[in-house]
Each structure stands twice: as C-alpha cells, then as structure tokens.
Amino acid sequence: MNIGLLGGSFDPIHKGHIEIAKDALSLLSLDSFYFIPTKNNPWKDKQNAPGDKRKEMIEIAIHQEPKMKVCTIELDSASNEKNYTIDTIHALREMYPNDNLYYLMGMDQAMAFEKWKQAEEISELVQLVAFNRGSYPITHPNLETYHFIKMNNVEITASSTEIKEGALDMLDKDVLKYISKNGLYLDTMIRNRMKEKRYKHTLSVASLTRDFCKSNGIDPLKGYIAGMMHDVAKEMPHDQAKKLMKKHYASHLDQPEPIWHQWLSRYVCENEFLISDEEILKAIEDHTTASTSMSLLGMCLYCADKLDPLRGYDSSEQITLCKHDIEAGFRNCLTDFYEFSTKKHRPIDPCFFEVYDKYVKGVNND
C-alpha cells in the first residue's frame, strides 16, 4: 500500500490541509492518508488547543473522506518530551514494514529540512514529498539533496496562525462550529475587531463571567464564551452596523446607537462564528439593556460587564455578592444603575423600568 503522512500541530486543521491531502491522494496514487497531530511540536513552544480537541477537529474535517485518517501515535506517547519526526517514522516503519510511506511537508519546511533531527535517515526511511505554499519558492537545493518528490499543486495559502487571528473563511464550517462551541482560540480570533482598551475589557469580562457562572452552578464554559463575544460588534463601522440593524433588527433601530452592538454581536456570533447555543446568544443580546426574560447566564454576563474591575471603580463588594448569589447581584446592579442615573439626572430608557419592576420590585407587567 501507498500511505501518505502529514505531521503537524493542526491547531486548528484548515481547508488547506484537506486540499493538500486530496492532491496527494490523487497525484501520488495513495491508498490512504494519515494526519499525525503532534503532542509537543519541536518547532513551537506550545499548542493552543489540547491534543484531544485537535484530534476531534481533524476527525470532523475528514468525516466525508474515507481514505483520510488520524494517526494518534504521537498524541498517545507517554512522554512529554518534544516529538521528533525520526522517532515517529521508526515507529510507523515497524507498523507498516511492507508499505510505501510518503512523508509530506510544505516548501517552508523542505527549505529547512537539513535542520531536522537525523534528516538524512528520514529521507532513507520514507519518500519525502514537498508541496507549494504561498510566498515560498517552488524549488530549493534540499529537494535534490534529500530526494524529494515535488508536487505541482496550487499554492496553499491558508495557515493556522491566520485563523487564530480571525480568518474564519479558512475553516470547514463544522470545525468552526466545534471551535466556537468549545471556546477555542476566541481570545485571538476577536483581537483585530476592537481597540486595545476594549479588548482588555473583553478578556476581563470573559474571566469574570466564567467565575460568576462557576460559583453559581452554571456552565462556566458558556460564561466564558458569552463574555468573550459580548462586544464583538461594538466597533463595527457605522454604515455596516446601520445596514444590518435595518435588515435584521428594524424594531430596535430607534434605540441609541451605542447599544446596537448587543443585537449586532448576537448576529456576528450566529452568522460568522456559527454559535447556535440560544442561551449564549440571548445572554449577549441582553447584556447592555437587560430584559424581562433573563437567564442566570444572562445575569452573570450583565453583571460582569457592569462590574468589570477595569472600569475604574471599586466593585469588589458587588462582585462578591454575585459570586454568592447571582440573582441578588443582578438586582443590586439594577438598583445601583437606577440610583446612579437618578442622582446624575441621566435619562433612563423606558424598557429599563420593566426589567426593574420585575426583578427588583417583583412586579410582573406581562
């Protein structure tokens, strides 16, 4: 049998990985193709997602490709030392002594192959294969030195680094759903959507919402995701925001523009990050104005946003109350907002009084 091998972090796996596997299966007449996620990549200081999550993402990405498989030989290693390809190749040679092994790598790695541990021996144990990657040359002396086969594939431009910086279109939709559901990479994916001050606020709110949830018996992962995504549309350009409000939230278009982001953040979460958890989406939608149908998760996010220590005032007592009893903490936040606004003679949106009446006064106006 002819077996293709592609090692890497796959942190996360993206469309480019799948395309190169398809090309290799065809161009090299392979019978199967194995993705080998590394446990400890010698070229990187750390992985962002744990091995089991990276494995599951690969399985999701290849579920319609019967010739593609995940090889967990490195993930299953009892050692926490760096994984070196030569060790993996030796183990695979024992498993497949009579098969032809084709080890693939991008031109970026092929150009530096002489730096790999026992590079010469690797080239004797397997057939090396190089594929084109965007912005790298299509040839190099190493190709001849180590007897590479060179694939003339369409250049792979996708990269896991760009995905973690927000290039969501490089991901399979089901993989993106998995990422969002598990709260992976969200802290870096949203980074370029907001200024530094708001980004720090977002990280703080995500952490505080998670803490409130954990201490109140609510799923802390949902709290983290809701907190991380609550302001994702806060700095959306005005023209884009107005267009989306007109199309999807026309009934709220007359609300002050500074609070549009609670609906638009829900929109971005649903349509760009493919978040489908209604409890998370509703919490984000309610985080600025609150509503008369607040979930406990929604209360956690509302309070975390209002009590974020980075806002510059001492909210420690209120934070302690929220950790002890989020419903009491939520009532306290509503009362505090009402008293502060009244004292400062600031206008209060009429919808606030419905929320205030229900949760503070105990009056149901339904």
* pLDDT at site 134: 86
Task: Please state at what angle helix 296-307 crosses helix 196-215, rounded to 10 degrees.
Answer: 140
Do 139 and 67 belong to one domain?
A: yes
212 inside domain: yes
* pLDDT at site 45: 58
pLDDT in tens for each of the 366 residues of the chain? 999 999 999 999 999 999 999 999 999 999 999 999 998 766 555 668 999 999 999 999 999 999 999 999 999 987 777 779 999 999 999 999 999 999 999 999 999 999 999 999 999 999 999 999 988 999 999 999 999 999 999 888 889 999 999 999 999 999 999 999 999 999 999 999 999 999 999 999 999 999 999 999 999 999 999 999 999 999 999 999 999 999 999 999 999 999 999 999 999 999 999 999 999 999 999 999 999 999 999 999 999 999 999 999 899 999 999 999 999 999 999 999 889 888 888 888 888 899 999 999 887 655
Do 149 and 228 belong to one domain?
A: no
Do 109 and 228 belong to one domain?
A: no
Domain CATH number, residue 247: 1.10.3210.10
173 inside domain: no
* pLDDT at site 365: 57
144 inside domain: yes
Do 81 and 20 belong to one domain?
A: yes
Do 156 and 194 belong to one domain?
A: no
Do 103 and 241 belong to one domain?
A: no
Do 227 and 277 belong to one domain?
A: yes
* pLDDT at site 23: 96
351 inside domain: yes
Burial class (CB in 10 A: 0-12, 13-18, 19+), 150: middle
Domain CATH number, residue 152: 3.40.50.620
Determine the structural domain holding residue 6 and report its residue range: 2-161
Domain count, the chain: 2
* pLDDT at site 41: 67
181 inside domain: no
* pLDDT at site 157: 85
Do 137 and 244 belong to one domain?
A: no
Do 44 and 134 belong to one domain?
A: yes
* pLDDT at site 108: 95
179 inside domain: no
Do 129 and 6 belong to one domain?
A: yes
Do 324 and 216 belong to one domain?
A: yes
167 inside domain: no
The residue out of 123, 143, 161 marking a domain boundary is: 161
293 inside domain: yes
Do 194 and 157 belong to one domain?
A: no
